[in-house]
A and B are shown apart, each in its own frame.
Chain A
Amino acid sequence: MSTQREINMADALNEAMREEMRRDTAVILMGEDVGVLGGVYGVSKGLLDEFGSERVRDTPISEDGFVGAGIGAAITGLNPIVEIMYPDFLPCAMNQITNHMAKLRYMTGGQLTVSLTIRSAIIQGRGSGADHAQTLIPWFVQTPGLKVVVPSTPYDAKGLLKTAIRDKAPVMFFETAKLYLNKGLVPEDEYLIPFGKADIKREGTDLTIVAICNLVLEALEAAKELEKEGIKAEVVDPRTLVPLDKETIINSVKKTNRLVVVDNNPSACGVAAEIAAIVAEEAFDYLDGPIMRVATLQIPEPVAPTLIKLMLPNKEKIVAAAKKLL
Chain B
Amino acid sequence: MVKIIFMPRLDEEQEKGMVVEWLKAQEDTVTQGEEIVEVMSEKVSFIVEASVTGTIHKIFVEEAEEVPIGTTIAIISEAEDSPDMLEKAVKEAEEKLKIETPIVAEKEEIKVIEKEEEVKIKPERIKISPIAKKLAKEHELEITQIEGTGPGGRIVKEDVLRAIEQGKIIPAVPEEVERITLTGVRKIIAERMTQSYQTAPHVTVMMDADASNMVKLREEFEEKTHVRLSYNAILIKAVIEALRTYKIFNSSIEENEIRINPNINVGLAVTLEDGGLIVPVIPNADKKSLKELNATIEDLVEKARQNKLSISEVKGGTFTVSNLGMYDVDGFTPILTPKQTAILGVGRIAKKPLVINEEIKIKPIMTLSLSFDHRVVDGALAANFLRSIKRTLETFTPTL
Contacts and interface: CB of A to CB of B under 8 A. Distances in A.
Interface in A275-326: 284-289, 324-325
B134 interface: yes
B129 A287 contact: yes
B151 A284 contact: no
B103 interface: no
A257 B119 CA distance: 32
A288, A289, A324, A325: residue with the most chain B Cβ atoms closer than 10 Å: A288
B150 A289 contact: yes
B154 to A, nearest CB: 7
Residues of A contacting B: mostly: loop
Interface in A257-273: 257
Residues of B contacting A: mostly: helix
B151 A288 contact: no
Interface residues of A, number: 9
A289 B131 CA distance: 9
A302 B393 CA distance: 92
Contacts of A284: 130
B151 to A, nearest CB: 6
A277 B338 CA distance: 50
B131 A286 contact: yes
Interface string A117-152: 000000000000000000000000000000000000
A289 B128 CA distance: 9
Interface string B128-139: 011110100000
Nearest to B137: A285
A287 B151 contact: no
Report, as a range, how many residues of chain B touch the other chain: 10 to 19
Contacts of A325: 151
Contacts of B154: 289
B157 interface: yes
B134 A288 contact: no
Contact of B151 (A285, A286, A324): A324
A73 B253 CA distance: 67
Interface string B119-154: 000000000011110100000000000000011001
A289 B134 contact: no
B151 A257 contact: no
Nearest to B156: A288
A325 B129 CA distance: 11
Contacts of B158: 288
B204 to A, nearest CB: 34
Nearest to A324: B151
Contacts of A257: 129, 131, 157
Contacts of A324: 151
A285 B137 CA distance: 12
Nearest to B132: A288
Contacts of B129: 257, 287-289
Interface in B152-186: 154, 156-158
A284 B132 CA distance: 11
B171 to A, nearest CB: 22
Contacts of B156: 288-289
A296 B239 CA distance: 76
Interface in A40-80: none
A285 B130 CA distance: 5
A180 to B, nearest CB: 39
A286 B156 CA distance: 11
Contacts of B134: 285-286
A235 B109 CA distance: 57
Contacts of B150: 288-289
A288 B150 CA distance: 9
Contacts of A286: 130-131, 134
Contacts of A287: 129-131
A288 B129 CA distance: 5
A243 B137 CA distance: 36
Interface in B55-84: none
A37 to B, nearest CB: 52
A257 B132 CA distance: 10
Contacts of A288: 129-132, 150, 156-158
Contacts of B132: 288
B321 to A, nearest CB: 46
Contacts of A289: 129, 150-151, 154, 156
A325 B151 CA distance: 7
Interface string A3-25: 00000000000000000000000
A163 B43 CA distance: 57
A323 to B, nearest CB: 9
A325 B149 CA distance: 11
A223 B325 CA distance: 66
B130, B132, B134, B150: residue with the most chain A Cβ atoms closer than 10 Å: B130
B384 to A, nearest CB: 42
Nearest to B160: A288
A270 B129 CA distance: 25
A325 B154 CA distance: 11
B399 to A, nearest CB: 65
Nearest to B134: A285
B126 to A, nearest CB: 15
A257, A324, A325: residue with the most chain B Cβ atoms closer than 10 Å: A257
B127 to A, nearest CB: 10
Nearest to A286: B131
B198 to A, nearest CB: 26
Contacts of B151: 289, 324-325
Nearest to B133: A285
18 contacts: A257-B129, A257-B131, A257-B157, A285-B130, A285-B131, A286-B130, A286-B131, A286-B134, A287-B130, A288-B130, A288-B131, A288-B150, A288-B156, A288-B157, A288-B158, A289-B151, A324-B151, A325-B151
Q: Which 6 A-B residue pairs are closest in the complex by CB-CB distance?
A: A288-B129, A288-B157, A285-B134, A287-B130, A288-B156, A288-B131
Interface of B: 129-132, 134, 150-151, 154, 156-158
Given A257-B129, A287-B129, 16 more contacts: A257-B131, A284-B130, A285-B130, A285-B131, A285-B134, A286-B130, A286-B131, A286-B134, A288-B129, A288-B132, A288-B157, A288-B158, A289-B151, A289-B154, A289-B156, A325-B151
